[in-house]
Amino acid sequence: MTAPNQDPSSASGLQSGGSVVPGDTPPDSGSMSESLGTENQPNVGPVSGNRTPMIITLVVLGIIVLMVAAFTVASLVPSS
């Protein structure tokens, strides 16, 4: 979006030198309020994920670790 060509001295809210009065919006800046509507944001808020795949993965990993530990201990114990 481009600003129309206008004389900067006639633009409202500008001080001498082209600076903006504190709290005023510069004439060529856009407004962010039009993009803050909730109608375009269906998933507002924290996401609650499904933990089942993580729990299954951790259980399988724990079983593998226990099996490797059992085989390691069994190989170190002398057979009679």
Count how many Cα atoms sit within 13 Å of the Cα of residue 63 in the half-sphere of its side chain: 5
User: Is the overall model pTM greater than 0.75, yes or no?
Assistant: no
Residue 76 lies in a domain: yes
pLDDT of res. 49? 77
- Percent over 90 (pLDDT), the chain: 30
Residue 15 lies in a domain: no
Q: What is the pLDDT of residues 6-44, one digit of tens each?
A: 665 555 666 667 676 676 665 565 555 555 555 666 656
pLDDT of res. 50? 85
d(CA 40, CA 47): 17
Residue 63 lies in a domain: yes
Q: Give the domain range for residue 59.
A: 52-80
73: phi then psi, degrees, rounded to nearest 5: -65, -40
